[in-house]
Amino acid sequence: MLENVQNLQNQIESTTLATKEDADKFKLTHLSKKGSIQGLFKAFREVPPAEKKAFGAALNALKQLAEQIHTEASQSFESENVLGENGDLTRSGNPHDLGSIHPINAIKDEIVDIFKRIGFNVSTGPEVEDDWHNFTALNFPEEHPARDMQDTFFVQRNPDWALRTHTSSVQVRAMENVAPPIRTISPGRVFRNEAISSRSHCVFHQIEGLYIDKDVSFADLKQVLLYFAQEFFGKAKIRMRPSYFPFTEPSAEVDVYWGLENEIDHKITKGTGWLEVMGCGMVDPNVLKANGIDPEIYTGYAFGMGIERIAMNRYQIPDIRLFTENDKRFLSQFKTGL
């Protein structure tokens, strides 16, 4: 019987375990319940009493040897798997895709930072507003089309409340709660009841600015907007065209001279070289009165721009719906660079 143990030991010692599959096969052949070593343990009862001690010691040593060979081989295969092909522990692990900033947030943050540098703070307000903050306090007449159901999302159970149509409602709250001087910008979502197309949507993002103090003039407004155009667009020329808004008088549309250096410039400016970027004007005295500010003492200006429009021009995005579809192929183009 001792001869059988020695023969099996010689066989085990001569076995080469080159792969993980070899190690698995070795364990099944020699160390499993039906393996060769277990077979010798079952034959232990047939060993003469005088030989049991020597046979048992040899058999235990054989089992320990087989287990050691199998353990060392298995550990080496696991180590190779961890180290990788070149065995370099300093190599980085499996790369993970970095998140990206949504283009709307990227543009918003850039605009906010520009106006913060010249003393504007940031104001926020609710997205569901009452008639006073959304319309009446901003000098909207009763017959203004913005008050119609086809233009505004009204709350069904209470028609005096609606999803705000502009962030000017935040400016109303600022005038109610803060005494002049007031210098604030109001970024946020706004809602319009419009047909969805490549150029329009029901949810937009705006940034509106308000400055109220003594002796504020239209020249101050123009200088601030020229500063913004230089900082954001890198353009040093703007023009202001007469327009109309219920809450400002006089009112103007602001264009930035984009230039006509290539085909894209011709396309986005319709061949004029000028790009419309925002509306603005001096705060109407009726708005100041409605919010408890004396128009004989204070004057102010306001401006507002759509973030989607600017982002589409900045990144040459042809369809506004891409901003809300959460397509990773689209969003992954706006990496942080980290």
Annotated domain spans of the chain: 2-83, 103-331
d(CA 68, CA 74): 10
Order of all β-strands in the sheet with 121-122: 121-122, 182-191, 203-213, 299-306, 274-283, 248-257, 238-245
The two tokens of residue 192 are 């319009």
The two tokens of residue 133 are 């903050």
d(CA 323, CA 309): 11
DSSP annotation of 45? G
User: What's the distance, CA 312 to chain centroid?
Assistant: 17
Distances from the Cα of 63 to the Cα of 32, 228, 283, angstroms = 11, 82, 93
The pairing of beta strand 182-191 with beta strand 121-122? parallel
Instruction: Name the residue type at position 307.
Output: I
What predicted TM-score, i.e. pTM, was given to this entire model?
Answer: 0.67
Order of all β-strands in the sheet with 128-130: 128-130, 158-163, 154-155
d(CA 147, CA 130): 12
d(CA 239, CA 312): 21
Instruction: Name the residue type at position 305.
Output: M
Which value, in Å, is the radius of gyration of the alpha carbons in the chain? 38
Place of tokens 């370099």: 88
Report domain 103-331's class: alpha beta
Secondary structure (3-state) at 7: helix
Q: Tens of pLDDT along the chain (338 residues)?
A: 677 778 888 888 888 888 888 888 888 888 888 888 888 778 777 778 877 788 778 878 888 888 888 888 888 877 665 555 555 666 666 666 667 789 999 999 999 999 999 999 999 999 999 888 888 888 887 766 655 655 788 887 677 888 888 899 999 999 999 999 999 999 999 988 766 554 556 888 999 999 999 999 999 999 999 999 999 988 889 999 999 998 999 999 999 998 888 887 787 788 898 989 999 999 999 999 999 999 999 999 999 999 988 888 888 887 888 888 888 888 888 865 44
- Determine phi and psi for 26, rounding to 5 degrees: -60, -45
